[in-house]
Amino acid sequence: MIPLLQQLFSRRATASAVSPSMDKTPNLPPGREPRSARAERWIIAGWVLITLKCALLWWAINAYQVPIHPLWLVVPTVAFGLLATALYIWRD
């Protein structure tokens, strides 16, 4: 970079000012990492646990007549599960 700045300020083109590494094509970052089957199994297991939790919660709130609606607890659980799944799917 410094030889290029010197060339720019001196206004003369010299062949020695350009380093050999400037002639090469840039190294591009590697492509997207392939999906991991192990990680996807964990995500599926997490969704099974979320489903069981929500079903058990809904039953317990209705069976014990807790004065709240079950969606107050189910919606945040599902929302964070969706967020985590979306972050895994659209990672980069």
Residue 28: other Cβ atoms inside 10 A? 6
> Phi and psi at residue 28, in whole multiples of 5°?
-85, 150
- Domain layout of the chain by residue ranges: 35-92
> Phi and psi at residue 58, in whole multiples of 5°?
-60, -45
Residues in the chain: 92
C-alpha 84/C-alpha 64 separation (Å) is 31
Longest Cα–Cα distance of the chain, Å, equals: 86
Per the CB < 8 A criterion, the answer to whether 58 and 70 are in contact is yes
- Mind listing the pLDDT tens digit for each residue in 12-37? 655 555 566 566 777 777 777 788 89
Q: Tell me if the pTM is above 0.75.
A: no
- Mind listing the pLDDT tens digit for each residue in 61-90? 999 999 999 999 999 999 999 999 999 999
